[in-house]
Chains A and B, each alone.
Chain A
Amino acid sequence: MALSLILAALAQDALVSTDWVFQNLQNPKVRVVEVSVDPGVYEKGHVQGAVGWKWHSELCNPVNRDIVSPEAFEKLCQSAGISNDSTVVLYGDLNNWFACWAYWMFTMYGHKDVKLMNGGRKKWELEKRPMDLNVPSHPAGKFKVTSTNLALRARLWDVLKVVEKKEPGVLVDVRSPDEHTGKVFAPPGIQELSIRAGCVPGARNIPWSKTVNEDGTFKSVEELKKLYAEAGVDGTAPVIAYCRIGERSSHTWFVLKMLLGFDVRNYDGSWTEYGNAVGVPIENKTGTIWTGK
């Protein structure tokens, strides 16, 4: 009982409703950031005062495959008018996938006051709330990266340690069942492919889409606990979440860490790294073979 209350409070801390954002548009401490990945979405209209970040070039290192460096992240935040005492509100298209990635980054780089707008762009649009067409120009912020908590990030070797049972842990594959069983390499039309199909051996398949309602908001804490418990993920073992490029796993990382309070790391390399790595064990339930076609 006490735990649920604590968890509910945790959830309240990390999530804000679209209505809260709407009421706080003029709040000088609030800085809204949209992380949308479909082209032109931010430009066609966004929450008033929201800055738009490009995931591909600003939240990832565009040369080496890596998350953006602390120095670059600092610069990005400062030009968005973010300081260490700002209340950052994140939202985006595609069910907040990339907004969750940004949330994960803010958490790793030490910002203490970050919120995710529950329902993201989808809910804002469903509620037909006002859109702004202008890009804001905030005075420069003073955000500094004071600490880096890379314990929230899983690398390939961390995943292998769990697979080889050298460390305790449970893997959560948040992709669709067809991707998980190896039936498809990736959803149709996707360019980020892997040479092998299947999943990390022992990974539980809990697609990200099971954690949200029709309008994009998260299901209740009780429903989420039940969903994961049924798949054997109950918080007793540390979790590593992965998907294809790390954006949907960021979404699940948010659910498990911020809403359920589990010990969870985000494996941002995800299947595009694991499924292309030479010599790693793979579980391919459907036996699909890569033929290069």
Chain B
Amino acid sequence: MMIRYAAAAVLAAALVLAAARLHGHESYGRAASFTLLAGAAFGFAIQRSRFCFTAAFRDLYLLRDRRMALGTLAALASGSVGYLVVLGAQLPDPSRYLPPTAHIAPSGLHLVLGGAAFGTGMVLAGGCISGSLYRLGEGSLVAPVTLGAAAAGYGLAFWTWDWFYLKMIAEGPVVWLPRSLGYAGAAAAQLAALALLAGLVLWKCPGLPPRPGAPVGPRAALRRALVDGWPSWMGGLAVGAIATFVFLRTSPLGVTSELSRVSHEIGKALGIVPVELQGLGKLPGCRPAATGAAFTPNAIFVLALVGGSAVAALLAGEFKVRVGRPRTFAMAAAGGLLLGFGAMISLGCTVGTMLSGIMAFSLSGWLFAAGLAGGAWAGTKLMRKLA
């Protein structure tokens, strides 16, 4: 036990030191330092609450287990409120301008299709991109297979990108709720929709049977925070808060830019993907984008996420090298391909497109979520057949 506490301390210290180094570094600076700390906090929070968008849909279908669905709704609601506060300061007049950095993307069928592919893939693989990243921090050996297959999925998507761009994205209407409803109207409508969904979930899905003999007191609370798992609503609030802070200080939360960039670079080097991707530079979302420095901001965020998750896992005694059965790896690979494909044509995943889109009151987020719901349902049906 002492070894894992020591390992957690060393890793946490390494993250803090890295943030300090970045802060003063010529090519990085304050924003990069903040991004690292935010990534570590995000990884810590989602590991502690086992925050998994896959579970949000799949467990509803499989078991009527509502916990992660409620956690996701809590994240969306708290993040919407946080975004509202920031947007109100940044953009006094939503009727004429769009927030320059938020993920308010053109609406179109590509989001539903991408969401469906992503939703099916995430259920087959057992986790989405952010879920696979935090599981990597916990010691999963299946997660790297999922992520590698996702990179390959991106490669496939690059071939189809121009078609999707011209047919659905380039002319897609940008639907931003505050533009037509004002901030108050958009907030009321969106929070009402989220409350409605939460009500539906609470009504249709019974809660977990209570765990007998849970202890109380400050020591127990500390134990619960660091060792036991967080309740999903707590994870949801943490996610919403972190999403707001990251949006305020840098750019919206996302975990796939670096993955897509690496995939594109590898593909270009091997000569197996198109070099130019039409229209990409102007679209909001998790675009593959290089900076001059060795680590892009998203690379820093994602690596810190894995680190933060590892710290959390070590403290809770949940770090363990986990190997799956052959079928598990096969499903991770197949699912990963779908994840990468869906994330590319939607320019983001459950975090970058659903979370950051809905929190920013963009219809694009809701369309992707609708695709996810359908794809996850199909994936669950498929999983039953394969079990």
Interface on A for B, CB 8 Å cutoff?
44-45, 48, 125, 127-134, 137
Contact of B30 among A44, A133, A137 (CB under 8 A): A137
A130 near B97 with CB under 8 A, answer yes
Chain B, Cβ-Cβ closest to A139:
B26
Interface of A is mostly: loop
Chain B interface bracket (under 10, 10 to 19, 20 to 34, 35 or more): 10 to 19
When the two chains form their complex, are residues B249 and A134 in contact, meaning their CB atoms are under 8 A apart?
Answer: yes
Contact B31 A131 (CB under 8 A): no
A-B contact pairs, 11 of them (CB 8 A): A44-B89, A127-B93, A128-B97, A129-B93, A129-B97, A130-B91, A132-B90, A133-B86, A133-B90, A133-B248, A134-B248
- Distance in Å from the Cβ of B364 to the closest Cβ of chain A? 20
Q: A48-B100, A133-B248, A137-B29 are in contact. Are A128 and B92 (CB under 8 A)?
A: yes
User: Is there a chain A Cβ closer than 8 Å to B207's Cβ?
Assistant: no
CB proximity to A under 8 Å, residues B81-112: 86, 89-93, 96-97, 99-100
Contact A128/B96 with A137-B30, A137-B31 known, Cβ cut-off 8 Å: yes
- The minimal Cβ–Cβ distance linking A252 to chain B, given in whole angstroms, is 31
For residue A128, which residues in chain B have a CB less than 8 angstroms away from its CB? 92-93, 96-97
A134–B89 Cα distance when bound, in Å, is: 12
A131 touches B30 (CB 8 A): no
Alpha-carbon distance A165/B86, docked complex (angstroms):
59
A133, B92: Cα distance in complex, Å: 13
On B, residues with C-beta under 8 Å from A are 29-31, 86, 89-93, 96-97, 99-100, 248-249
Which 6 pairs show the lowest CB-CB distances between chains A and B?
A128-B93, A128-B92, A130-B91, A130-B97, A137-B29, A131-B90
Picked from A48, A125, A133, A137, the residue with its CB within 8 Å of the CB of B89 is: A133
With A129-B93, A130-B97 given, name 13 new contacts (CB 8 A).
A45-B89, A45-B90, A128-B92, A128-B93, A128-B96, A128-B97, A130-B99, A131-B89, A132-B90, A133-B90, A133-B248, A134-B248, A137-B30
**Least CB separation from A25: chain B residue:** B100
CA distance A125 to B100 in the complex (A): 17
| Chain A, Cβ-Cβ closest to B28 | A137
* Cβ contacts under 8 Å, A131 to chain B: 89-92
Chain B: minimal CB distance from A114 (Å): 25
A177–B237 Cα distance when bound, in Å, is: 58
Looking at the assembled complex, report how far the CB atom of B112 sits from the nearest CB atom of chain A, in whole angstroms: 30
Report the bound CA distance from A44 to B92 in whole Å.
Answer: 12
Q: Which residues of chain B are near A134, meaning CB under 8 Å?
A: 248-249
> Taking the nearest CB of chain A, how far is it from the CB of B343, in angstroms?
26
Instruction: Determine if B90 and A130 form an interchain contact, defined as CB atoms under 8 angstroms apart.
Output: yes
State A132–B30 Cα separation when bound (angstroms).
Answer: 16
CB distance from B26 to the nearest CB of A (A): 8
Q: Whole-angstrom distance from the CB of B119 to the nearest CB of chain A?
A: 34
Residues of B near A127 (CB, < 8 A) are 93
Most central of B92, B93, B248 by chain A CB within 10 Å: B92
Select from chain B the residue with minimum beta-carbon distance to A140. Answer: B26
Residues of B within 8 A of A45 (CB): 89-90
**Closest CB in chain B relative to A141 CB, distance in Å:** 14
* A134 to chain B: closest residue by CB: B249
CA gap between A6 and B89 in the complex, in Å: 41
| Cα of A131 to Cα of B88 in the assembled complex, Å | 10
